[in-house]
Amino acid sequence: MLTWKIVSPMSRPHIDTDSNTQLRIEERAFSAAGAAFLSAIIVNPLDVAKTRLQAQAAGVPYQGVCRMAPFQTNTRLQDIMSPVSGSQPSRPCSFGCCTYKGTLDVFYKVIRHEGFTRLWRGTSASLALAVPTVGIYMPCYDILRVMMEEFTTKNAPNLTPYVPLLAGSVARSFACISCYPVELARTRMQAFRITQSGKPPGVWKTLLEVVHPDKSTSIFQSFHRYRFWWTGLGAQLSRDVPFSAICWSTLEPIRKNILGLVGDKTSAATVLGANFSAGFVAGTLASAVTCPLDVAKTRRQIEKNHERALKMTTRTTLIEIWRDGGLRGLFTGVGPRVCRAGPSVGIVVSFYEVVKYALQHTRPTS
């Protein structure tokens, strides 16, 4: 596995095959899961803001009434603001009362109408998604990159610069497919507007609402409807694979150059700084470029009509978004998405590498 002994000022930390410094797969997964846990909690409010803005642009009507009034949506998401017996009557909203105008406006109105903690709506899904996904993604990327770099260095040196792009794409595809239903649940949970007190539906209940089997129908008779849990998977891959390709192909050269400036004087602080800086820049760039694909993913995941949802493609969704909102529609939520992705990638990558560094340097050497 990687150690942080730099053999030349501009080289990548070399691969040490000594068994005492090799990190096991479970140690890599532990590093990645810890990074995902920290990142998911810190940036979740920005994720909520991004999802609300994109869902509103897709037709989810957040305006209409304040507090406890129910409303009908144009999506599969069922609002859970229905008034309880004896509750205060709802009052009409003034124009724009519950229409989101930007990231800060989302924060203000969510806190005002739903409560401060609703900014962390979907955190349980984010954690349920991020820990296993990043636990798969980062170790797979790490292993694939090392293997590919060894192969290309010996057989096709001119292809070595493209290794991060390919390794990131393959690792992200595998992680995305394996955990997609939880991603679907998170998007739907964050698109809710909740003003009623009480416990909102969690990940499992949200997924059951996606399927919504008839109570008179047995679970086996409605089993075919569980394919709706993978609605929008194509859009997710269309977003995540380019994101990973851009992110890693940008991150690796920046990290390599920063660590090259340090030389042999590597410490946990330099590892942290180099990886956070590279991750921040790479995540910001990749999230901005792939924002239209993220808008398409959100729109497909909140679609109400099951038949239409199964027929939708990323291409037709992008055309629909362009027709409805033009360039501005394609980049709906780009502000919170970029503000979220830059720190998130920086936190995940730096935490992952620092934990690896610590594990390597706390082992006894032979």
CA atoms within 13 A on the CB side of 23: 28
pLDDT tens digits for range 224-237: 566 677 777 888 89
- In whole angstroms, what is the distance from residue 255 CA to residue 283 CA? 13
- In whole angstroms, what is the distance from residue 113 CA to residue 115 CA? 6
pLDDT the model gives residue 202: 64
| CATH number of the CATH domain containing 303 | 1.50.40.10
Would residue 60 count as lying in a domain?
no
Give the chain's domain count: 1
pLDDT at residue 128 is higher than 60: yes
pLDDT at residue 156 is higher than 50: yes
Q: What are the structure tokens assigned to 251, written together?
A: 């991150």
Residue environment code for 171-194, b if the CB has 16+ CB neighbours within 10 A, otherwise e: bbbbbbeebbbbbbbbbbbbbbbb
Give the domain range for residue 340.
25-54+101-362
pLDDT the model gives residue 226: 65
Would residue 310 count as lying in a domain?
yes
Mean pLDDT of 33-52: 81
Q: HEC states along 309-357? A: HHHCCHHHHHHHHHHHHHHHHHCCCHHHHHHHHHHHHHHHHHHHHHHHH
pLDDT the model gives residue 329: 92
pLDDT tens digits for range 166-215: 998 998 888 888 888 877 777 777 775 654 555 666 666 766 666 664 55
pLDDT at residue 291 is higher than 90: yes
DSSP 161-173: GGHHHHHHHHHHH
Percent of the chain residues past pLDDT 70, beyond the cut: 70
**By the 8 A CB rule, do 222 and 138 touch?**
no
**By the 8 A CB rule, do 2 and 146 touch?**
yes
What size, in residues, is the chain? 366
Amino acid at 107: F
**By the 8 A CB rule, do 63 and 96 touch?**
yes
Q: 195: part of which helix (H) or strand (E)?
A: none
Q: Alpha helix (H) ranges present in the chain?
A: 25-58, 103-113, 123-155, 163-191, 203-211, 233-262, 268-289, 291-301, 306-311, 314-330, 334-361
Would residue 298 count as lying in a domain?
yes
- In whole angstroms, what is the distance from residue 63 CA to residue 34 CA? 38
- In whole angstroms, what is the distance from residue 293 CA to residue 163 CA? 24
- In whole angstroms, what is the distance from residue 362 CA to residue 352 CA? 16
pLDDT tens digits for range 237-283: 988 899 999 999 999 999 999 988 887 778 889 999 999 999 999 99
pTM for this structure?
0.71
Residue environment code for 27-36, b if the CB has 16+ CB neighbours within 10 A, otherwise e: bbbbbbbbbb
pLDDT the model gives residue 263: 78
Q: What angle do CA 338, 340, 344 make, to 5 degrees?
A: 120
What does the CA dihedral 28, 33, 38, 42 come to, rounded to 10 degrees?
Answer: 120
Task: Pick the range with the lowest mean pLDDT from 20-24, 76-80, 228-232.
Answer: 76-80
Q: Please identify which residue in the block is written with the tokens 């940008």.
A: 250
pLDDT the model gives residue 365: 55
pLDDT tens digits for range 313-366: 889 999 999 998 899 999 999 999 999 899 989 988 998 888 888 877 776 554
Would residue 74 count as lying in a domain?
no
Would residue 124 count as lying in a domain?
yes
Would residue 238 count as lying in a domain?
yes
Residues 6+ apart with CB under 8 A from 362: none
- Partnered with residue 75 across adjacent β-strands are 303
pLDDT the model gives residue 139: 84
Would residue 82 count as lying in a domain?
no
- In whole angstroms, what is the distance from residue 255 CA to residue 43 CA? 23
pLDDT tens digits for range 294-305: 999 888 878 767
Percent of the chain residues past pLDDT 90, beyond the cut: 23
What rounded mean pLDDT belongs to the chain? 75
Would residue 18 count as lying in a domain?
no
